[in-house]
Amino acid sequence: MISEFEEAYDDIERVRDAVLETPVSDLMAGDPLVIDAEATVVSAVNAMNERRTGCVLVQSGGKLVGIFTERDVLRKVIFREGDRGMKVSAVMTHGPETLPPTASVAYALNKMSVDGYRHIPIVDNAGKAIGVLSVKDIVNFVVEFFPDGVLNLPPDPSKAIPKSADGG
């Protein structure tokens, strides 16, 4: 008979191996939202809202030159006067860190954790954006290793199921 310790160890090994060996290309959102550097901030925000995503990748001449995120909207745009013609290139993060599609999930997770990123563009050898990896993508990947019973537990099992849909 296998002990609980041995079962838990096997689960830890399985997760560790998957995180170290799985390339980010297996997790990244394909068909990334890409806009031209000369697009307006208004069009970028509208596109983000339509696609329900937290970032757009910014290109010039077919190559990634920046990333425009929700943080950029809050930190650089929201309190400026109503210049609806403001170019996204004026407020994007220039030269963002990128990863190749072959990078491991472990490497991406470390980079996101250490540097505080929520999104990392995935680029091919020519510098063209082919995807974007988000914290949500990694969380969804890790969640697959938990049994359904664990995922369906209320935050505090001693309390009743919440009566509203509040939350983050």
Range of the domain at 77: 22-148
**Residue 17: inside a domain, yes or no?**
no
pLDDT (tens digit per residue) in 8-48: 556 678 888 888 889 999 988 778 999 999 999 999 999 99
| The pLDDT of residue 129 | 93
**Residue 164: inside a domain, yes or no?**
no
**Residue 31: inside a domain, yes or no?**
yes
**Residue 111: inside a domain, yes or no?**
yes
**Does 62 have pLDDT greater than 70?**
yes
pLDDT (tens digit per residue) in 96-129: 999 999 999 999 999 999 999 999 999 999 999 9
**Residue 99: inside a domain, yes or no?**
yes
List strand residue ranges (DSSP E) for the chain, in order.
Answer: 34-36, 55-60, 63-69, 93-94, 119-123, 129-134
Which CATH number belongs to the domain containing residue 77 in this structure? 3.10.580.10
What is the tally of structural domains in the chain?
1
**Residue 110: inside a domain, yes or no?**
yes
| The pLDDT of residue 151 | 56
**Residue 139: inside a domain, yes or no?**
yes
**Residue 57: inside a domain, yes or no?**
yes
Cβ atoms 104, 19 nearer than 8 A: yes
